[in-house]
């Protein structure tokens, strides 16, 4: 049975069984033959019409899972059953032509590959994708598409009559028409030509296609948006709380086109301050069971690439009807708070409103009011900033983690070429807005949560963030020690230890590396109807209420909040949980696409400065190379082991370093180094570096 288990799903003639078991003498052959027939009688083996035998146990042992095609030689199948421990290792030969993210059935072999059980794919249940983006290479008789997607390890063969006008070195979208069998390559046809490889628009369009993002809205959706009347009727205003006479303004990036939040401020007779957080009332315009709603659900989020936005809603809504533009009456959904001088909440109100924004501030203009204490509305902005500081202090006293990652933006020429990489600055004006958005999100979630009981909670959409995994924390702690930083979680608690580290590394070369690693240590935030609190913000209840122009979960929150304000009963939990899962998936897709577009521009920028020597810090060490983050540009590249040609270097996994066998030269995580660019690959979005000796 071990022999049958090594080749599941395959049948054998008696002669093949004897050969496979290396049975040679007559007596042993008779014994094995008897055993095979007894196993047939027992229903363990089955005899086929041609007289061969097959294991009947194979159906009982199939496991369904998702393929993670890690490299060209093997993949792992991640079982769907959470009870199954570990992933299943499958060699390329046993994949049956399955690709990354396909859903498959696997049978286990009677052996292991390292710590993992080994298996073989016996059926492909569902293909995850059949279209790939790549660069086409032509010859006189045929063409191949070399996919951009790193986990697609096959070139795709294309007949010359399936090219749709594509030429050598074009970026294209290819649809697989025949999946690979044995050693054959997959075959496909070109469905869209994106342009010449390396050109800005072709590369951005290939990222859009790679992640399955929409290029434009269907005509019908645009038409529906255009037909929405822009008049705000007296009847509609009568249903709402009127804030049009209250001082109100927006603060947004200089290049923002949609303004989905505004702040109002006024003094109250008792000396307290009323702060209104006013959010575009998108659900007034986008009604359930309409084509606009279906499109918003499908997209679930806006996507921000380096040179463009792929919006969740058509421009007529996102930049027009729902945008809180200055000197226009707008319909909003608001969270209004009475705060004392210490930013304690004395009362709160939630509901639909109408506002009139007096001024549109950029972050720079608002910061100027804070710095100079001059200019229009500087007193109001200063008071809001003072309250924001108080709110922030309370958060950190409660255990919030102060993650401040360094983000970059690109200065682009008209043709899309990167002229420079600029780290984004976050000053008080940014943090002021953020703090009031956090307040609104927290209090809306708490307000709804308290409407239910432990036995009968009301269904709502929460934004949750689990506590970090202890094993990942231990790994991160070891990592931080390599840079000379001690973390004592057991004595100080996780939040306090992390905050201590973050303030300790501020302004140091390792700041970005360690903050990125700390974030990876954290659990991923997600949307769910199950209330679990938010570790990073230290809020027991949290949701997303403040950006319905660009996030579908905020639209769900607006609808549910109004439903419960109207006295409605709890809604169907399963329906909203499915929408939460979909939204979390779309959020991940958007983040991956955004990262890919940034990486593309980083690679392109570094390709233009190949002669320059850069200072960097070793951010990762593996058996195939040393990752270096360049301090000036925040770009990460790799020095390949093959390019360390002054000695043979060995990977010391335990100590996060590589060591020269003869010269004992060491490259350790956290080391300051000097590097230059050896090569860049825009298709793969990789940067190859070489060390420059001091």
Distance, C-alpha 186 to centroid of its chain? 29
The strand pair at 686-691 and 672-681 is best described as: antiparallel
Report residue 554: phi and psi, to 5°. Answer: -65, -35
Q: Specify whether the CB–CB gap between 536 and 525 falls below 8 A.
A: yes
- Judged against a pLDDT cut of 80, whether residue 436 lies above it is answered with yes
- Is residue 656 classed as helix, strand or coil in its secondary structure? coil
Do the Cβ atoms of 374 and 359 come closer than 8 Å? no
Domains of the chain: 131-197 (2.40.50.700), 219-423 (no CATH), 451-597 (no CATH), 609-691 (2.40.50.140)
Q: Which residues contact 386 (CB under 8 A, 6 or more apart)?
A: none
- For residue 293, give every residue at least 6 positions away whose Cβ sits within 8 Å of its Cβ, in sequence order, or none: 286, 287
Contact of 281 with 352, CB cutoff 8 Å: yes
Write the Ramachandran bin of 670: left for phi over 0, alpha for psi from -120 to 50, otherwise beta. Answer: left
Q: How confident is the model at residue 60 (pLDDT cuts 50, 70, 90)?
A: very low
* Environment class of 569 (CB within 10 Å of its CB; exposed 0-12, middle 13-18, buried 19+): exposed
What's the CA angle centered on 286, arms 280 and 292, to 5 degrees?
130
- Is the Cβ–Cβ distance between 556 and 451 less than 8 Å? no
Which sign does the torsion angle of CA 342, 346, 352, 353 carry?
negative
- CA-CA-CA-CA torsion for 469, 474, 477, 482, nearest 10 degrees? -130
Look at residue 664 and tell me whether its pLDDT is greater than 60.
Answer: yes
Q: 694 pLDDT band (50/70/90 cuts)?
A: low
DSSP 301: B
Length of the chain: 694
Range with the lowest mean pLDDT among 47-61, 270-284, 623-637, 653-667?
47-61
CA dihedral 602, 608, 614, 619 (to 10 degrees): 30
Give the mean pLDDT of the chain.
Answer: 90
Q: Could you give the CA distance from residue 197 to residue 514 in angstroms, rounded to a whole number?
A: 35
**Cα distance between residue 378 and residue 386, in whole Å:** 12
Residue with tokens 């210490």: 342
pLDDT of residue 668: 85
pLDDT band at 221 (very low <50, low <70, confident <90, very high): very high
Q: How far is CA 269 from CA 266, 272, 277, 479, in A?
A: 10, 7, 20, 55
Residue 50's pLDDT band, with cuts at 50, 70 and 90, is confident
| d(C-alpha 373, C-alpha 385), whole Å | 12
Rounded distance between C-alpha atoms, residue 529 and residue 458, angstroms: 9
Which pLDDT does position 41 carry in this prediction? 79
* Contact between residue 555 and residue 487 where contact means Cβ atoms under 8 Å apart: no
CA 156/CA 179 separation, integer angstroms: 9
CB contact burial 90-104 (16+ within 10 A = b; e otherwise): beeebbbbbbbebbb
Characterize the bridge pairing of strands 613-621 and 657-660. unpaired
User: Across residues 405-428, what is the average pLDDT?
Assistant: 83
User: Which residues contact residue 364 at a Cβ distance below 8 angstroms, ignoring those fewer than 6 apart?
Assistant: 254, 429
Quickly state the pLDDT bin for 10 (edges 50, 70, 90): confident
Mean pLDDT (whole number) for 163-171: 92
* Partner residues linked to 99 by β-bridges: none
- Angle, helices 428-449 vs 363-372, to 10°: value is 110
- Pairing of the two strands 156-158 and 187-196: parallel
pLDDT at 490: 67
**CB count in 10 Å sphere of residue 664:** 8
Check whether 524 has a pLDDT greater than 50.
yes
For 379-393, the pLDDT digits (tens) are 999 999 999 999 999
Binning pLDDT at 50, 70 and 90, where does residue 453 land? confident
pLDDT score, position 182: 62
Stated as kind and residue range, the H or E segment containing 219 is helix 219-226
Write out the H or E segment, with its range, that includes residue 431. Answer: helix 428-449
Runs of H (alpha helix) within 184-264? 200-210, 219-226, 234-238
Please give the structure tokens belonging to residue 382.
């200063």
Helices marked H in 270-375: 282-285, 291-299, 315, 363-372
Query: Residue 46, by phi and psi: left (phi above 0), alpha (psi -120 to 50) or beta?
Result: beta
Q: Please, which residues bridge with residue 262 across strands?
A: 278
Rg (CA), the chain: 30
CA distance 405 to 349: 34
80-138 confidence digits (pLDDT tens): 988 888 899 999 888 888 999 999 999 888 778 888 889 888 889 999 999 999 999 99
H-type helices in 483-618, by residue range?
Answer: 489-492, 494-505, 511-521, 552-565, 573-607
User: Angle 350-281-440 (CA atoms, 0-180°, nearest 5)?
Assistant: 40
Residue 91 CA to residue 470 CA, distance in Å, equals: 32
Angle at 64 between CA 63 and CA 65, to 5 degrees: 115
pLDDT tens figures, 575-626: 999 999 999 999 999 999 999 999 999 999 998 887 889 999 888 888 889 9
Predicted confidence band of residue 252 (pLDDT cuts 50, 70, 90): very high
Q: Is 515 exposed, middle or buried (0-12, 13-18, 19+ CB in 10 A)?
A: buried
- The strand pairing partners of 450, in sequence order, are none
Three-class secondary structure of residue 201 per DSSP: helix
pLDDT in tens, 495-518: 888 888 877 877 777 777 777 777
Buried residues in 219-244 as b, exposed as e (16+ CB within 10 A): eebeebbeebeeebeeeeeeebeebe
| Token output for 33 | 């033959």
Residues 6+ apart with CB under 8 A from 537: 395, 400, 438, 442, 465
Lowest mean pLDDT among 114-118, 183-187, 488-492, 508-512: 488-492
Assess contact for 305 and 241: CB atoms under 8 A: no
The Cα 345–Cα 683 span in angstroms is: 53
By DSSP bridging, strand 131-138 and strand 88-91 are unpaired
Q: Are 316 and 202 in contact (CB under 8 A)?
A: no
CB distance 193 to 222 below 8 Å: no
Cα gap 324→250, rounded to integer Å:
8
Q: Are 65 and 75 in contact (CB under 8 A)?
A: no
% of the chain residues with pLDDT over 70: 98
Q: Are 165 and 193 spatial neighbours (Cβ–Cβ below 8 Å)?
A: yes
User: What values do phi and psi take at 105, rounded to 5?
Assistant: -105, 135
């Amino acid at each position: 049975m071990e022999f049958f288990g090594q080749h599941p799903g395959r049948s054998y003639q008696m002669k093949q069984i004897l050969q496979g078991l290396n049975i040679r003498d007559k007596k042993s052959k008779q014994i094995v033959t008897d055993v095979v027939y007894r196993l047939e009688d027992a229903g363990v083996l089955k005899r086929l019409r041609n007289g061969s035998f097959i294991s009947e146990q194979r159906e009982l042992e199939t496991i369904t899972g998702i393929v993670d095609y890690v490299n060209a030689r093997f993949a792992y199948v991640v079982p769907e059953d959470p009870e199954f421990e570990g992933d299943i290792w499958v060699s390329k030969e046993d994949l049956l032509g399955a690709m990354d993210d396909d859903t498959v059935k696997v049978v286990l072999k009677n052996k292991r590959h390292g710590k993992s059980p080994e298996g073989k794919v016996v059926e492909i249940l569902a293909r995850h994708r059949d279209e790939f983006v790549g660069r086409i290479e032509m010859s006189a008789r045929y063409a191949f598409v070399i996919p951009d997607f790193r986990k697609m390890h096959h070139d795709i063969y294309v007949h010359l009559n399936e090219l749709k006008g594509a030429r050598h070195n074009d970026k294209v979208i290819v649809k697989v028409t025949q999946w690979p069998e044995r050693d054959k390559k997959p075959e496909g046809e070109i469905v869209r030509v994106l342009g010449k490889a390396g050109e800005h628009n072709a590369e951005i369009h290939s990222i859009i296609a790679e992640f399955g993002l929409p290029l434009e809205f269907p005509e019908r959706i645009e038409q529906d948006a255009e037909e929405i009347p822009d008049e705000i009727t007296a009847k509609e205003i009568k249903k709402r709380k009127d804030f049009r006479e209250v001082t109100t303004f927006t603060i947004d990036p200089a290049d923002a086109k949609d303004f989905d939040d505004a702040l109002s401020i006024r003094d109250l007779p008792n000396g307290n301050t009323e702060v209104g957080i006013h959010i575009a009332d998108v659900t007034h315009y986008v009604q359930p069971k309409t084509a606009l709603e279906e499109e918003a659900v499908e997209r679930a989020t806006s996507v921000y690439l380096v040179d463009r936005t792929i919006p969740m809603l058509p421009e007529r809504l996102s930049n027009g009807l729902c945008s809180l533009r200055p000197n226009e009456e707008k319909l909003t959904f608001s969270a209004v708070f009475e705060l004392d001088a210490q930013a304690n909440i004395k009362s709160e109100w939630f509901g639909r409103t109408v506002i009139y924004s007096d001024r549109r501030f950029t972050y720079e203009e608002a910061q100027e009011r804070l710095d100079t204490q001059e200019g229009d509305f500087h007193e109001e902005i200063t008071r809001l900033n003072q309250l924001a500081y108080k709110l922030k202090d309370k958060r950190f006293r409660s255990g919030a983690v102060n993650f401040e990652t360094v983000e970059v933006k690109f200065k682009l020429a008209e043709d899309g070429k990167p002229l420079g990489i600029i780290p984004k600055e976050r000053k008080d004006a940014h943090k002021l807005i953020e703090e009031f958005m956090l307040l609104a999100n927290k209090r809306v979630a708490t307000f709804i949560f308290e409407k239910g009981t432990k036995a009968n909670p009301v269904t709502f959409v929460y934004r949750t963030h689990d506590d970090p995994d202890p094993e990942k924390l231990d790994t991160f702690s070891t990592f931080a020690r390599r840079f000379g930083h001690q973390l004592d979680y057991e004595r100080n608690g996780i939040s306090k230890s992390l905050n201590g580290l973050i303030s300790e590394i501020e302004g140091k070369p390792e700041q970005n590396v360690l903050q990125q690693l700390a974030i990876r240590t954290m659990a991923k935030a997600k949307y769910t109807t199950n209330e679990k609190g938010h570790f990073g913000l230290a809020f027991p209840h949290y949701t997303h209420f403040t950006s319905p122009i660009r996030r579908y979960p905020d639209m769900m929150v607006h609808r549910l909040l109004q439903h419960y304000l109207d006295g409605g009963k709890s809604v169907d939990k399963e329906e909203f949980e499915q929408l939460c899962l979909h939204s979390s998936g779309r959020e991940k897709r958007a983040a991956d696409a955004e990262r890919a577009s940034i990486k593309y521009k980083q690679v392109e920028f570094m390709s233009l400065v190949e002669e320059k020597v850069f200072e960097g810090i070793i951010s990762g060490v593996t058996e195939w190379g040393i990752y270096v983050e360049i301090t000036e540009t925040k770009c990460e590249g790799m020095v390949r082991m093959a390019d360390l040609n002054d000695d043979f270097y060995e990977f010391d996994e335990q100590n996060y370093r590589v060591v020269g066998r003869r010269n004992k030269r060491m490259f350790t995580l956290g080391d300051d180094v000097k590097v230059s660019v050896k090569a860049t690959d825009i298709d793969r979005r990789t940067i190859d570096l070489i060390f420059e000796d001091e």
